[in-house]
Amino acid sequence: MTTGNFKQYTLTMRGRLFKLSHPWVMGIINVTPDSFYQSSRALDDNSIASRLKTMLSHGADIIDIGACSTRPGANIIDDKEEIARLRQAMRIVKDTAPDALVSIDTFNSTVARAAVEEMGADMINDVSGGTIDPHMPATVARLAVPAVVMHMRGTPADMQHFTQYDNVTANVLDELRQRLDTWRQAGATQLIADPGFGFSKTTEQNYELMAHLEAFHCLNVPLLVGISRKSMIYRTLGCTPDEALNGTTVLNTAALLAGAHFLRVHDVEPAAQARTLTGLIINSNN
């Protein structure tokens, strides 16, 4: 059992109680033609099925499917197109691995409702924390599924214009706390917080957040960290996203040691290995 900085929680999905007694690895499948990391894109049935099987065999606890890119500068697509992409992906998931837990990466409440009610999704991952579509908190409350509430200012198209903070850790914590309160007031009860690395933050601010990640446990909800192959890694190291796996594993390890509950990653096997080894370190200190 992992202890130390790790606080234990439970989530209910498909009528089952899941104990977060150890960190979960969330594997990314992007059914988009413009996601920043090309190798994460899966646009046809075979590539979706192949990526899914590989991630599950490597130890993914849940799969996160995105059908609308949220890379810096990305434009929002029509909800009908987003739903059509998700229908294709979810059909493959249900045919290939019907027991797999699936999160949907969307900030559109219409998409979220269709994904859960029609397609059988288990969780919603809203990178805007309900700020782009204010109907999202109430929608998730009615759907009665867990939701990731991420910190971002603005939209993916303009978020890097909103990086002014007095104190990035204190400000992000305060804004996340307010957003979690909004979701709770709408009736949502199973919430997960994500500081939003790379979203309306500079590279320096991202590392300051990572250095103070333990502070986010004061929100009293599970904590998700998504830094996989992001620019805070590849620009700092002077490499490309394709070459950023080592840096990703280093930061995932730091996040695990700080008590992260979810790692959202493109590469499941290295993240699962980091989880195993950091678990041995943490448990050896108790």
> What's the rounded Cα separation, in Å, for the pair 76 and 70?
8
Residue count (the chain): 286
- The active-site residue out of 7, 230, 235, 275 is 230
> What's the rounded Cα separation, in Å, for the pair 286 and 123?
33
> What's the rounded Cα separation, in Å, for the pair 197 and 201?
7
- The active-site residue out of 153, 229, 264, 275 is 264
For residue 138, the number of C-alpha atoms closer than 13 Å in the C-beta half-sphere is 3
Phi, psi of 112 (to 5 degrees): -60, -45
Q: In this structure, are residues 271 and 249 in contact, taking their beta carbons and an 8 Å threshold? A: yes
- 264 annotated active-site: yes
State the DSSP code for 239.
-
Place of tokens 């009610």: 117
Structure tokens at 149: 């509430």
Helix (H) or strand (E) holding 110: helix 109-117
- 19 annotated active-site: no
Q: In this structure, are residues 48 and 89 in contact, taking their beta carbons and an 8 Å threshold? A: yes
Structure tokens at 256: 């695990």
Determine the straight-line distance between the first and last CA of the chain, rounded to whole angstroms: 10
The residues assigned a catalytic role are: 230, 264
